[in-house]
């Protein structure tokens, strides 16, 4: 029989377009569970837990929760905070004092690690708390998951942006560098490849954190594309590293978060460096760089239908698993085999997704190192959803003799 | 009776989400006009005219033209080229040699100037060419127009981006600086204000090229907003100038186009400068800057319905006016008086929109200089179209005594 008690839910790490789907899914499911009494949400992740800043999620109407579900960014507020050992003890005391038996942590690998630390504490202290992690990250780098909620919508934004950007650069030719999020994993940058509908469409070059990046090689690659197509669109991950494995973007920052991650986003420095180097190393004059930044994860009205659906379901599943099994864990998304796209949701231990992240598999990266494989495209397509069809003129040239 | 002859159409300047609506409108209307024989499109603006690179637009199906109309960026290709006096003579020779009696130039103020130069040449040479300009610019800075095709869709992108970005910055508090296009006019940056749905929503500060920008004042403004709301989102035009009227972004560039305009977009330098200065001048630690860049003008699937409709109509009207009146001119958009939104299309001389641009009227800028007025919002709203409704939790705090 399920433990009876209160529930606390938090959102953590970088917001996404669908993280509120998981919140709404968990809260609406919790309301159906007789074992769950009060339903609290903490403001700004672990920070709000430590400050005991809770809101009453039973006081929200279903209509509000549905509207919030369709709204990007973390409705409860988020934080990038790793608890110290002392804070883990304090969190546990707070959970106990408020009769919280169900604790849900929506976030990525760092959040899973925090949840793991808290769960271990609860285990040692003999006060059972069901402590479940609900996956979320646009980086798509959680281990054990086929893909993660938030990724599909961010990937959709990237694919749409590259569709437009390729057309823009084709219209006013030159070189366009697009810097895309993804600290260690190239999935989001790889999604740029979905923008192509014709052989000469961009992105013509895709640089991923999984392969070493060299400025000399980059300049040569771009020159070759320009020679061939007359313009070049390059998709570059913010996480690209040099031959020594050092982050190139991190050269420009001294800022690190609570988990020791350097700030890579929210600056155009990497794109500007690449543009500058390209102008210095080649004869190309028109070079532009855009850094997509936070728009990738928070732009309203660009949501992948599968992503929204799955983000909702992991919230629901986490509550069901917590009530049914207690203990701790995470919900992972596995893809069903077969041609038609489908997924299953499975419980896994927190340790299986905490701390370390995963990267793009080698099978998704072409031998050149600056291209993705057909297997990668097949993997990505259902996650992003159908993209708009673009029109293109047939462009029958007028013969000069007709003109003369 | 209308002159009988061939037609040539070009697209010029920065692409927009709806510039192909104008192309499709003009071509489909031209096909209905018995006076117009061959319909040619030149590749890459004036460059393609001078190189006689024409495509046959009668060979395009209606379905292709409709698909192209709904596709961002310039389908014919664009250019930023101001003709020299010699080139004006050459263009005129080319028009004459190819029996072109109808010449259409889709573009902004620089394009109107080029069209004006060509029309003057035709006038002097005694070979009549109807030479009409079709307005287009996301900057919304064409004189005589209430607003310009391309602006509404770019403004819609900016408003949506700010909606998401405010939520993102509220979730992970700090300061967010968003750099928005607009060389001399603040209209596009002003459109960020449409993102607000509640009193504490961002953008909290709006910096326009129409008012001098001071780093010291900026830092003080941001500090005041952070003290009040706990976070701050600032929308900053790429065109901001210092007290001396010098462009701040232009300090970072040496690149100018054919019309003498400095390159402001395609770099994150201005945003990064502002973020750096803010960190240096205040105690605020989390400061992020995004430069929206080319996404503003080329993102597919973000189109204002009014903008698409009007961009189509100015193309149609230009062809009708050219056939009916010959000569030269531009089509301007005027707003009908009254509560319900509506526009009329009127012919005006090329000189009325060429060269000089317009800026935001004083009535649209609040006294503080970093805010827009209700009149500005009322002006912008119908141009952008209905925005999605965002959800927000009621957020009833759990009383500490309940918890204890």
Token output for B286: 């989390």
How big is chain B by its Cα radius of gyration, in Å? 23
Cβ-defined contact of A267 to B265 (cutoff 8 Å): no
Determine the pLDDT at residue A153: 98
Scanning every residue of chain B, which has its alpha carbon at the shortest distance from the alpha carbon of A20? B391
Which chain A residues are within 8 Å of B79, Cβ to Cβ?
Answer: 172
A/B interface, count of CB pairs below 8 Å: 264
pLDDT digits (tens, 9 = 90+) for A261-307: 766 667 888 999 999 999 999 999 999 999 999 999 999 989 999 99
What is residue B399's predicted lDDT score, i.e. its pLDDT?
82
Contacts of B86 (CB under 8 A, 6+ apart): none
Structure tokens at A180: 């895309």
pLDDT tens-digit series, residues A89-103? 899 899 999 999 999
Per-residue pLDDT of B187-217, as tens digits, reads 999 999 999 999 999 999 999 999 999 999 9
Helices (runs of H) and strands (runs of E) counted in chain B:
13, 11
C-beta contacts of B274-278 below 8 A and 24+ residues apart: B274/B177, B274/B179, B274/B215, B274/B218, B274/B236, B275/A266, B275/A267, B275/B175, B275/B177, B277/B215, B277/B218, B277/B219, B278/B175, B278/B177, B278/B218, B278/B219, B278/B222
Report pLDDT for B89.
85
What pLDDT does B402 receive?
A: 55
Among B91, B87, B26, which residue's Cα sits nearest to residue B323?
B26
CB pair distance less than 8 Å for B55 and A171: no
Do A54 and B268 lie within an 8 Å CB cutoff? no
Of A67, A69, A298, the CB nearest to B168: A298
Partner residue facing A391 (CB), from B64, B397, B404: B64
Q: Which region among A76-85, A130-139, A316-325 has the lowest average model confidence (pLDDT)? A: A76-85
Edge to edge, what strands does the sheet with A287-291 contain? A205-207, A232-237, A175-180, A287-291
Question: Mean pLDDT over residues A337-358, rounded?
Answer: 95
Which residues of A fall within a CB distance of 8 Å from B98? 403
The b/e string for B173-193 (b: 16+ C-beta within 10 A; e otherwise) is bbbbbbbbbbbbbbbbbbbbb
Position B404 scores a pLDDT of 47
Contact at CB, A290 and B291, closer than 8 angstroms: yes
| Confidence grade of residue A404 (pLDDT, cut at 50, 70, 90) | very low
Q: What angle do CA A303, A304, A310 make, to 5 degrees?
A: 110
Question: Which of A69, A266, A396 comes nearest B59 by C-beta?
Answer: A396
% residues pLDDT > 70 (chain A)? 95
pLDDT digits (tens, 9 = 90+) for A232-264: 999 999 999 999 999 998 876 666 666 677 666
Distance in angstroms between the alpha carbons of the first and the last residue of chain B = 90
What is the ipTM metric for this complex? 0.95
Shortest CB distance from A391 goes to which of B68, B298, B390?
B68
d(CA B323, CA B317): 10
CA distance A280 to B12: 28
- Residue A103 has φ and ψ, to the nearest 5°, of -125, 120
- Chain B nearest-CA distance from A266, in A, is 4
List the pLDDT tens digit at each of the 404 positions of chain B. 689 999 999 999 999 999 999 999 999 999 999 999 999 999 999 999 999 999 999 999 999 999 999 999 999 999 988 888 899 889 989 999 999 999 999 999 999 999 998 888 887 878 899 999 999 999 999 999 999 999 999 999 999 999 999 999 999 999 999 999 998 999 999 999 999 999 999 999 999 999 999 999 999 999 999 999 999 999 999 999 999 999 998 877 667 766 677 766 678 889 999 999 999 999 999 999 999 999 999 999 899 999 999 999 999 999 999 999 999 999 999 999 998 999 999 999 999 999 899 999 999 999 999 999 999 999 999 999 999 999 999 999 998 655 54
- pLDDT value, residue B60: 98
List, for residues A157-195, the tens digit of each pLDDT value. Answer: 999 999 999 999 999 999 999 999 998 999 999 999 999
Q: Is B139 a catalytic residue?
A: yes
Average pLDDT, chain A: 94
Q: Which residues from A are below 8 Å from B68, CB to CB? A: 391-393
Instruction: Please tell me the predicted confidence (pLDDT) of residue A121.
Output: 83
Please give the pLDDT value at position A70.
97
From the candidates A139, A141, A178, A201, give the one annotated as an active-site residue: A139
**pLDDT for A43:** 97
Shortest alpha-carbon distance between residue A31 and chain B (Å): 16
How many angstroms away from the CA of A395 is the closest CA of chain B?
5
User: Which residues from chain A sit within 8 angstroms of residue B38, using beta carbons?
Assistant: 398
Residue with tokens 């400025």: A215
């Amino acid at each position: 029989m399920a433990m009876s008690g209160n529930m606390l839910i938090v959102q953590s790490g970088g917001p996404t377009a669908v993280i509120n789907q998981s919140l709404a899914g968990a809260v609406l499911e919790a309301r159906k569970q007789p074992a769950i009494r009060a339903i609290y949400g903490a403001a700004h992740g672990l920070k709000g837990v430590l400050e005991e800043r809770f809101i009453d999620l039973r006081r929200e109407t279903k209509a509000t929760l549905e509207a919030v579900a369709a709204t990007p960014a973390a409705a409860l507020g988020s934080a990038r905070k790793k608890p110290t050992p002392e804070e883990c003890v304090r969190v546990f005391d707070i959970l106990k004092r408020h009769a919280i038996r169900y604790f849900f942590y929506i976030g990525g690998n760092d959040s899973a690690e925090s949840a793991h630390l808290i769960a271990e504490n609860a285990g040692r202290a003999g006060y059972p708390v069901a402590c479940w992690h609900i996956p979320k990250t646009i980086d798509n780098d959680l281990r054990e998951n086929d893909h993660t909620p938030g990724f599909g919508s961010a990937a959709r934004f990237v694919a749409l942006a590259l569709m437009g950007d390729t057309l823009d650069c084709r219209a006013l030719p030159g070189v366009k560098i697009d810097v895309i999020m993804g600290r260690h994993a190239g999935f989001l940058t790889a999604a740029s490849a979905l923008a192509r509908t014709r052989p000469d469409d961009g992105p013509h070059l895709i640089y991923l954190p999984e392969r070493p990046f060299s400025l000399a090689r980059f300049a040569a690659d771009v020159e070759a594309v320009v020679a061939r197509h007359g313009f070049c669109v390059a998709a570059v991950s913010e996480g690209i590293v040099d031959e020594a494995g050092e982050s190139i973007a991190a050269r420009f920052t001294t800022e690190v978060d609570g988990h020791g991650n350097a700030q890579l986003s929210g600056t155009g420095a990497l794109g500007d460096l690449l543009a500058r180097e390209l102008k210095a190393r080649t004869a190309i004059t028109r070079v532009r760089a855009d850094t997509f930044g936070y728009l990738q994860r928070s732009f309203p009205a660009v949501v992948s239908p599968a992503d929204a659906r799955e983000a909702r379901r992991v919230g629901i599943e986490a509550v069901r698993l917590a009530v049914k099994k207690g203990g701790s864990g995470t919900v992972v998304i596995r893809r069903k085999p077969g041609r038609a796209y489908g997924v299953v949701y499975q419980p896994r231990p927190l340790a299986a997704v905490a701390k370390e992240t995963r990267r793009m598999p080698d099978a998704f990266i072409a031998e050149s190192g600056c291209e993705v494989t057909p297997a990668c495209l097949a993997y990505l397509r259902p996650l992003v959803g159908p993209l708009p069809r673009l029109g293109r003129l047939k462009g029958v040239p007028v013969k000069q003799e007709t003109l003369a």
